[in-house]
């Protein structure tokens, strides 16, 4: 076991917002470990990060394979003996996010697959890693949500997100926000902070080419919440440094 400075684990960290989050935390001198579904994808991303001067490593993690949770736990137990930052970044959508109104037609399979990755896997992994996060001097848990999970905004008159009614995806992020609120409350007397992040509408595989935000700017919210000071918020929903309605 090697004692080091802060160490972060970023699920889905081999591309897109996850990779940019690894870069953002790496710039702060944090050891970044990315979770990737395949060794090849992870090693290619780590090679990029190391070439850019960051301390980086990879561990196999697939949200659809619960057995990889223990691989992650064992890795951090043996190598670091703790985990300072967990960024639950991995997520999927099986629907068209914009223009769809599919609540009455979305399939059970779509709902199950979406919730498995976006909600159940996050809860399962976080619970498994929590004993290691409790060993940190300042544990931080960041759940990558979406503004599309905001019931307050969806139900508002003339809502800015009104056209985006992909039920499965949106509901999975609403559930994830509920996990944030409940876990933050349970941990309120500890040094651990738990928050939800809306990274923005980003030009990723999920966000599409019409998104207004470039990938390079997509990690701002996660990095902000991952490095909150002791008097920072917990149990809140942010985009960059602005709080969003649940």
Confidence of residue 206 (pLDDT cuts 50, 70, 90): low
DSSP the chain: ----S-EEEEETTTSHHHHHHHHHHHTTT-EEEEEESSHHHHHHHHHHHHHTT--EEEEE--TT-THHHHHHHHHHHHHTS--SEEEE-----SS-SSS-B-TTT--HHHHHHHHIIIIIHHHHHHHHHHHHHTTSSS-EEEEE--GGG-HHHHTSTT-TTTT-B-HHHHHHHHHHHHHHHHHHHHTTTSS-EEEEE---SBSSTTT-TT-SB-GGGTTHHHHHHHT--TTS--S-EEETTEE---
Question: Could you tell me which residue, 164 or 139, shows the higher pLDDT?
Answer: 139
What domains appear along the chain, each with residue ranges and CATH number? 7-243 (3.40.50.720)
pLDDT at residue 212 above 70?
Answer: no
Confidence category of residue 92, pLDDT binned at 50, 70, 90: very high
Across the chain, mean pLDDT equals 92
């Amino acid at each position: 076991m090697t004692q080091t400075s802060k160490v972060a684990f970023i699920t889905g960290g081999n591309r897109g917002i996850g990779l940019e989050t690894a870069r953002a935390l790496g710039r702060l001198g944090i050891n970044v470990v990315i979770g990737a579904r395949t060794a090849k994808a992870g090693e290619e991303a780590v090679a990029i990060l190391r070439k850019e001067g960051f301390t980086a490593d990879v561990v196999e993690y697939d949200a659809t394979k619960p057995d990889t949770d223990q691989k992650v736990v064992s890795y951090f137990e043996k190598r670091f003996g703790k985990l300072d930052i967990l960024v639950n970044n991995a997520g999927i959508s099986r629907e068209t996010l914009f223009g769809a109104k599919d609540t009455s037609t979305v399939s059970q399979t779509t709902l199950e697959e979406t919730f498995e990755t976006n909600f159940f896997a996050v809860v399962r992994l976080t619970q498994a890693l929590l004993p290691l996060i409790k060993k940190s001097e300042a544990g931080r848990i960041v759940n990558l949500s979406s503004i599309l999970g905001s019931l307050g905004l969806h139900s508002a008159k003339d809502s800015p997100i009104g056209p985006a009614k992909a039920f499965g995806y949106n509901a999975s992020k609403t559930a994830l926000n509920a996990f944030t609120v409940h876990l933050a409350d349970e941990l309120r007397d500890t040094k651990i902070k738990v928050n939800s992040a809306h990274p923005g509408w980003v030009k990723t595989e999920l966000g599409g080419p019409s998104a207004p935000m470039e990938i390079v700017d997509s990690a701002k919210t996660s990095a902000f919440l991952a490095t909150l000071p002791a008097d920072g918020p917990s149990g809140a929903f942010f985009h960059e440094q602005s709080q969003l309605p649940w």
